[in-house]
């Protein structure tokens, strides 16, 4: 849908940042196309028995992955394959995806995608997915991934505007700066949790989210926009937070404008029967430039 020729001509429209920069930054725009192509590869056969999965072939060795209702956050490829197998069920099946949005860092080395992912078997399992991608010499691979089952219901499958940077930059070689980007995102996630305890989780979700943010939620469709996400969390009426959290891991692009945090939510009160005491999470964050504040864009 977002071909290089269309982006170069700027015909998607001025509302998409970076569209007019395609001619002078064709290599980075080309990475956007390769990311879309990689996301398409998430669709395909899945069989836990022999590992013939298009999904698991795309995972990094140190991937962070969870799939509801399987407890825990897998932190390597072997464990991730087992988690997916338990979530999807034994035997052969076919995974089909409908991507909704794709985003890219300004250095073209990291990106994200999300949409609907169904698992075909005797009975179709409906779901939603979020993937965080990193690019190396081997191409795009998934560094963080989650699959969440969804109930039947009306959903919007139209493509949303891609999250392109306002400008493109070469991959930075400054390791010190890169570490400062990582630390700033780690600190932002921790402030998000701390503020949720005092101002209320609804207000915190509004404060730390972007207007184009996405929340997977528990309904058939996604929830879009920090205001709608905040209302789904209780809005201004929410007192305190039922959970607290902090990142166990952080990945950030060398350009400092896209990153992901992952770890566990811990309940502040008693654990309801049949529920997890610790709930895995990962959140994708974005900002226009390293001087700006991080805001979550998908979680």
**Neighbour count for residue 231 (Cβ, 10 Å):** 17
Q: Cα 28 vs. chain centroid, distance in angstroms?
A: 20
Using an 8 Å Cβ cutoff, are 138 and 126 in contact? Answer: no
Structure-model confidence comparison of residues 119 and 121, the more confident one: 119
- pLDDT band of 142, cuts 50, 70, 90: very high
Would you say residue 24 has pLDDT above 70? no
pLDDT on residue 213:
98
Label residue 15 by pLDDT band (50, 70, 90): very low
Mean pLDDT within 81-103: 90
Residue 105: CA count within 13 A, CB half-sphere: 25
Rounded to whole angstroms, the Cα distance separating 252 from 181 reads: 7
* Nearest alpha carbon to residue 244 among 279, 217, 216, 273: 279
Q: Token digits for 214?
A: 């996405």
Average pLDDT of the segment spanning 257-264: 98
The pLDDT of residue 89: 84
Q: Can you tell me the distance from the alpha carbon of 87 to that of 69, in angstroms, rounded to the nearest whole number?
A: 7
CB 31 within 8 A of CB 108: yes
Rounded mean pLDDT of 282-296? 95
pLDDT tens-digit map of 155-171? 999 999 999 887 777 77
Q: Tell me the pLDDT of the chain averaged across its residues.
A: 87
Whole-number Å distance between alpha carbons of 197 and 243? 8
Q: How confident is the model at residue 16 (pLDDT cuts 50, 70, 90)?
A: very low
Q: Which residues contact 88 (CB under 8 A, 6 or more apart)?
A: 46, 48, 67, 95, 119, 121, 125
- Identify which of 1-5, 50-54, 236-240 has the greatest average pLDDT: 236-240
CA within 13 Å, CB half, 95: 30
**For the chain, which domains are there?**
4-149 (3.10.450.50), 175-298 (3.10.450.50)
Tell me how far apart the alpha carbons of residues 182 and 64 are, in angstroms, rounded to a whole number. 17
- At 174 the pLDDT is 82
């Amino acid at each position: 849908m977002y071909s290089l020729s269309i982006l170069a001509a700027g015909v998607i429209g001025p509302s998409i940042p970076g569209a007019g920069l395609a001619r002078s930054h064709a290599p980075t725009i080309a990475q956007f196309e390769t990311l879309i192509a990689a996301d398409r590869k998430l669709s395909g056969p899945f069989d836990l028995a022999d590992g013939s999965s298009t999904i698991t072939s795309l995972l990094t060795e140190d991937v962070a992955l969870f799939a509801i209702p399987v407890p825990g956050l897998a932190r390597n490829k072997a464990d991730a394959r087992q988690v997916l197998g338990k979530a999807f069920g034994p035997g052969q099946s076919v995974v089909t995806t409908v991507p909704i949005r794709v985003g890219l860092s300004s250095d073209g080395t990291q990106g994200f995608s999300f949409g609907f992912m169904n698992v075909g078997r005797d009975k179709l399992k409906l779901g939603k997915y979020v993937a965080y991608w990193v690019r190396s010499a081997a191409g795009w691979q998934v560094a963080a991934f989650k699959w969440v089952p969804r109930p039947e219901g009306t959903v919007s499958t139209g493509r949303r505007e891609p999250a392109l940077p306002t400008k493109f930059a070469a991959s930075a070689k400054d390791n010190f700066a890169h570490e400062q980007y990582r630390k700033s995102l780690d600190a932002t996630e921790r402030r998000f949790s701390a503020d949720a305890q005092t101002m209320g989780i609804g207000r915190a979700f509004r404060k730390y989210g972007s207007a184009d943010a996405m929340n997977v939620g528990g309904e058939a469709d996604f929830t879009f926009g920090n205001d709608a996400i905040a209302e789904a969390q209780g809005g201004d009426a929410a007192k305190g937070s039922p959970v607290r959290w902090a990142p166990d891991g952080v990945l950030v692009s060398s350009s400092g404008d896209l990153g992901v945090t992952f770890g566990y939510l811990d309940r502040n009160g008693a654990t309801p029967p049949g529920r997890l005491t610790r709930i895995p999470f990962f959140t994708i964050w974005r900002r226009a430039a390293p001087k700006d504040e991080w805001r979550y864009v998908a979680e």
